Structure 1
Amino acid sequence: MTRPAAPGASTASHAGSRPRDLPFLLLWGGQSVSAVGDGMALLAIPLLVLQQTSDPVLAALAATPQTIGYLLSGLVAGALVDRLDTRRVMLACDTARLAVFTLLTALALAGAAPVWVLLGLAVVAAVFGVLFDTAHAAMLQGILAPAHLVAGNSRLELSTQLGVLAGPALAGAIAAGPGAGVCLLVNAASYGVSVVTLWLLPRDAVRRERGSGLSVRRAAGDLREGLSYLRRHRLVRAVCGLQVVVNLLLAVETLIVFFAVHTLGGGPAGASVALAAGAGGGVLGASIAGPLGRRVAAPTLISGALLVLAGALAAASAAPSVAWLAAANLVIGLTSVLATVHIRALRQRVVPPELIGRVTATARTLAVAAYPLGAVLAGQLTAMTGQSPRVAFAVAGLLGAGAVVVGHRTGLRPAAQTTT
């Protein structure tokens, strides 16, 4: 079983800080509001694109700004966060996102936004989002004591999942009335709330700048240092590798809408039910992550959750109805969030503060990069098997189960034992 902090691990500046203390409550409150705004943008941007074009490629790109943002800036974001004041980075990023979405709102309401402008600004906002998320992980490490990292991460993830669940529903209602552009204005306002809560954070709740400035040479050295740590630290490397492989296979979930509509004949309503079930599972997973973490060692819990996830993918392949598919997706959402919360907390417990930005950004970038590759492979396999996604889900489930078992026995469990 892992200790609260491994040798050479972080020592939080607020050794006694808890999720109910003011610094975390301010951070959580601001990010809860922002999560709803982000959830609204998930639907609003594709709707604005679809108002102008029926091009499936552009429609797909409208749903991928975050992925593009990570591929463009993930590694650089880690190096920057490890050298700069995390609070100032987060303030700057959300101020920039407020400005970008205010501009998007003005363009959308004026009907003067070409598709390439909408997509370009969405990617710019996503790049700032990558930097913000990396700094957010570093700040949380400094605010909470190691023993409270799982509870803190689970509450933040719960807000994220509720935003994914409620945001698109609110966006759909607003788009049907005032229009999708108003959704972007609400998202801009949510970043304003985040800026206020970050500004109110006690100044001693965050780490200060450790570097003496920025340069291309220092940035390159920082990147090499972060990658070197990831290679050397067996436990962090094992978790990262397992996450990349599972993300590659989990990308088959991009076919859930196709599965519900075309294979099962559920239509748009069926697709909505299947997707909502996944979001509901995510909310449940975030809710139980803390209590389960107090009873089960993190490596065992991560591997167990991912193994059940693989089983749910395989079960989805045999779905005779939308209800079956929705139930499988609920389990997929639950277990993926459960594993994610504990992976984040484990990384924050063992990675030194001066490296947390680079290690977090590198791990996330690798996992994000695996997802579109997995989606392409799943789509090709579906096309090769008579336009049925059943084989793709079955293969993903079986390969995922094998990867988790091998990863746990050869990497995660032995690595965890060396830090006990």
Structure 2
Amino acid sequence: MVATEKRPRLGRDFTRLWLATAISSIGDGVTIAAAPLLATRLTDDPRLIGATSVAFTLPFVLFGLPAGMLVDRLDIRRTIVLIDYVRAVVLAVLTAAVLGGWGGLPLLYVAMFVLGTGDVFCRNAEQVLVPFIAEKPVLATANARIMGVQEAGAGFVGPLLGALLFGAAAALPFGVDAVSFVVSATLVAGIRGVRTSAAAGAGEPPAAGMWAEMIAGARWLWRHSLLRGLALLSCLINLAGNAMLAVLVIHSTKVLHLSSFGFGVVLACQAAGAVLASRVAPALHRRLGREGALIATALLLVGSETVLAAVPSPYAAGLALALFACGTVTWNVVVVVLRQTLVPQHLLGRVNGVYRLISWGGLPIGAAAGGFGAAYAGTRSVFGAGAVVMAGIAVVLVVGARRQWISRADPQAQ
């Protein structure tokens, strides 16, 4: 009898992480839809409305490095659980404030800032956690499923639910999100196969302190030309993409004349592209190679921004967001697996933190630029500028592919 090779499985711990991610992502989507809708009730200034996105994404720049260092030193499971409970409390306070009639823009900004801070730490921790609970042959599948459910929850189920709940009561979406974080914390607490704080940092000598540890991660990334270049390109993608998303509520209500639920439906179209990408991204980079997959991703992003700029239609907007989500999920699957395979495991949290500091640095800048651009030139000009940025990225990737950018850095990557 010929022995058959045992196929690696994702397992129980991954299932719990996946479920926790799914539930908290739905809650995130509820707030993603409800927060700008609440802002439009409080002001009609595009800059102040866009500031909700700035408040949420600013922590990505401020805390990217400390998050990476702490994730390398702490018990990952306990860290995620604690942060989920903190976010639940913050959302409960916001819910009570909106119910009581004293939930103005300053409180909304503070709440979004705290939620963004938690997101920085938890996303970094989840990426470090996945290699501990999924075997290397299924890393691409594991990451694709995590990212797919994040987009489906935050981009489809959550926004639709958030728009419906906001129409019923402005405070209701934030209360639902608070509950989602409690459920997520309970699921993550049951994960068993994780690195503990005692094991963190094993394999390297103790650093001279927090600053030295952060510098070690930054130095490693900056010396790696491939990952450094991908971080800079990711920054530009996030800048253009978040400028688009920051003014989407204005475009939907003022240009497309949609209701709050209509805005939720348009926002939810991201999920179609995300779910598609979560299924085809692993096969795509096997067929095209990772360099080819990244070029295809950039072309999808060019198309999404172009459609939004050129066609003032709700259907076109839905198609554009589906293309955008398909592109970003595919991009993330490729570059996350690259980081997980190229970066030494004891440095992964810190390098992830530095990478995110660079790549996510474009998020608050993009949100602010989008708000100002929409105020002075209209939302379609914001989308047009984004298409130009994405086209430039596609050109850079084509040049990199001709030089075998990825395969030279990792001969086994293709």
Q: Deviations over 1:114-143 (max 9, x none)?
A: 542343233223212211111111111222
Distance, in Å, in 1 between the alignment partners of 2:386 and 2:37 is: 30
- 1:196 is aligned to 186
Equivalences for residues 134-149 of structure 1 within 5 A: 134-149=124-139
Q: Deviations over 1:338-367 (max 9, x none)?
A: 212222222112211211112222222222
Aligned partner of 1:289 among 268, 281, 284: 281
Corresponding residue number in structure 2 for 1:299: 291
Structure 1 position 252, deviation (Å):
4.7
In structure 1, the partner of 2:325 is 333
Instruction: Kindly indicate whether the alpha-carbon contact (under 8 Å) linking 2:132 and 2:194 is maintained by their aligned counterparts in 1.
Output: no
Whether the aligned pair in 1 keeps the contact of 2:235 and 2:362 (CA below 8 Å) is: yes
Instruction: Say which of 232, 235, 238 aligns to 1:247.
Output: 238
User: Which of 186, 200, 209 matches 1:209?
Assistant: 200
Following the alignment from structure 1 to structure 2, what is the Cα–Cα distance between the partners of residues 358 and 40? 30
Q: Distance in 2 between matches of 1:106 and 1:143?
A: 38
Which AA in structure 2 matches 1:157? M
- 48 and 399 in structure 1: CA distance in 2 versus 1, 3 angstrom threshold: closer
Aligned to 2:3: none
Are 2:14 and 1:27 equivalent residues in the alignment? Answer: no
Give CA deviations for 1:147-193 in whole Å, capped at 9, x if unaligned. Answer: 2122111111221122121112212222333x232322222221121
Measured after TM superposition, the shift of residue 108 of structure 1 is 3.3
Instruction: For residues 170-225 of structure 1, give each alpha carbon's deviation from its aligned partner in whole angstroms, at most 9, with x where no partner exists.
Output: 12222333x2323222222211212211221114566732279xx99611101111
In structure 1, stretches of 5+ residues that fail to align are 1-14
For residues 353-395 of structure 1, what are the alpha-carbon distances to aligned partners after superposition, in whole Å with 9 as ceiling and x for unaligned? Answer: 21111222222222222134345555666677xx455555444
Aligned counterparts of 2:381 and 2:19: Cα–Cα separation in 1? 43
Q: Equivalents in 1 of 2:350, 2:182: separation in Å?
A: 27
Alpha-carbon distance in 1 for matches of 2:78, 2:106: 31
Q: For residue 173 of structure 2, what is the aligned residue in structure 1?
A: 183
Q: Is residue 97 of structure 2 the alignment partner of residue 107 of structure 1?
A: yes
Contact 2:285 2:292 in 1 (8 A): no
Quote the residue 1:277 is aligned against: 269
How far does residue 48 in structure 1 lie from its aligned partner after superposition?
4.5
Structure 1 residues 226-235 or 90-99, which shifts more? 90-99
| Aligned residue among 201, 215, 227 for 1:224 | 215
Give 1:417's aligned residue. Answer: 408
Q: Which residue number corresponds to residue 12 of structure 1?
A: none
Alignment of 1:124 with 2:114, yes or no, is yes
Paired residues of 2:235 and 2:358 also in contact (CA < 8 A): yes
Q: Deviations over 1:89-110 (max 9, x none)?
A: 1122112222222333333334
- Cα distance between partner residues in 1 of 2:253 and 2:335: 34
* SS at 2:321 equivalent: helix
Tell me, yes or no, if the aligned pair for 2:163 and 2:263 is still in contact at 8 Å.
Answer: no
Q: Give the whole-Å Cα distance in 2 for the aligned partners of 1:84 and 1:55.
A: 42
Aligned to 1:7: none
User: Given that residues 171 and 180 in structure 1 are in contact (C-alpha distance below 8 angstroms), is that contact kept between their aligned partners in structure 2?
Assistant: no
Identity %: 27
Cα distance in 2, alignment partners of residues 73 and 341 from structure 1:
23
Q: Residues 237 and 393 (structure 1 numbering): CA distance in 2 closer, same or farther, change over 3 Å?
A: same
1:151: which partner in 2?
A: 141
Q: CA RMSD, aligned part only?
A: 3.2
Distance 1:35 1:216, change over 3 A: same
Partner of 1:359: 351
**Alpha-carbon distance between aligned partners in 2 of 1:175 and 1:271, rounded to the nearest angstrom:** 12
Distance 1:133 1:394 in 2: 30
Residue 397 of structure 1 is aligned with which of 377, 387, 392? 387
